[in-house]
A = this chain, B = another copy of it.
């Protein structure tokens, strides 16, 4: 596919008529929108459009389609695979002003939000309704971005990912058409599943402007706990047995010893600097006690420490803040670095083997590497921290990542559990599923024939 993009100038004047001062070409704003939280080279768009309605997005896309100018949807810029860089220039559509919560249907346990509403904004809004939205990727991402990248995070082990928690999307297609993918009905067999086609498509098939989400009733009881282990192996084996026993644990997160050291330094905490599990139990009062007792028994079998409990809401928040601080904490181990993050996910029965082999790589590496992850799902991350002045360490980090991906694929796993493909994992996706990539390209080419939507992400189209 050749991509002869048009010059942006004509588009800019027409966009300015449409948006007034909500279109900006200021260098600072363009810079800000030219990168996510990864180390991928910043590539600013030609202009940033701050939109307020789906109809505006549609009008912008129509203009861009007419002039063959690329379009990149932007939520909060918290992706980590180079998702928002304007590789071929073009217009960045910033969704942050589309931040209205359009309806909360308490009786139906669902809500509809504009794409720019953030996770914490929704959490705040739902306070006092008795309902909550479980998907928690850590960052205060926008719900549009979370849908576009199929986000998950710490609660997925019990509540699933965005794939299981979106009922319907409103999407602007590459020619400006507006499509509603589903209804508020809890289930549907009405034609092809367009909702799931757009979840995880990373802005390359359409621009998500509204999301209808499933909500969940607040649990009667919630208890959080932390527990340390002498080795990662012990911690992982305990996780595997917890999952295989069918205990409906809500969160079970691994952090290795170096990760705990980094958190202690960053967050002024005093955890033992050895592998930890952070856990959470949801259910009825008796259900939570049943689960907690069963899991404590398992921890003892694998040399786990006594659990330190947090049950009051503020104590739980404090405990989980340490977990959510993991990424900035890790970066401080190597000031000035851009972390290279890995994201494999394997069947739980292969997790111990995958991690054991990976630890050998970590031990042999010349730079600091922390390990953490949503191990109840078989998904874990390394943050590899090359020294900013030693480019050879970047090569070493990438080679390690590639070995890890191949290891995961050989164990029936995937190169990306939750971070998506972006620019960073295009080759890995091809390696994982060459036949599938052919089908993905067919879909991309038919829905976006001029390759205007977030070009250069997810798929290589030049073959």
Contacts and interface: CB of A to CB of B under 8 A. Distances in A.
Interface of A: 105, 107-110, 149-152, 156, 160-161, 163-164, 173, 177-194, 196-197, 199-201, 205, 216-217, 240, 244-246, 284, 286-287, 290, 343, 345-349, 377-379, 408-409, 412-421, 425, 428-429, 432-433, 435-440, 442-447, 458-459
Contacts of A151: 189
Contacts of A193: 150, 163, 196-197, 199-200
Contacts of A107: 240, 244, 347-349
B190 A421 contact: yes
Total identical chains: 2
A252 to B, nearest CB: 13
Per CB-CB distance, the 5 closest pairs between chain A and chain B, nearest first, are A217-B246, A196-B196, A107-B349, A446-B446, A188-B414
A203 to B, nearest CB: 12
Nearest to A205: B192
A192 B443 contact: yes
Contact of A187 (B152, B412, B446, B447): B152
Contact of A378 (B186, B349, B440): B186
7 contacts: A173-B439, A185-B379, A186-B377, A188-B345, A189-B421, A190-B414, A216-B246
A76 to B, nearest CB: 17
B184 A189 contact: no
B436 A179 contact: yes
Contacts of A445: 446
Contact of A286 (B152, B185, B286): B286
Contacts of A459: 191
Nearest to A432: B190
Given A187-B161, A191-B436, A421-B190, A108 B377 contact: no
A108 B349 contact: yes
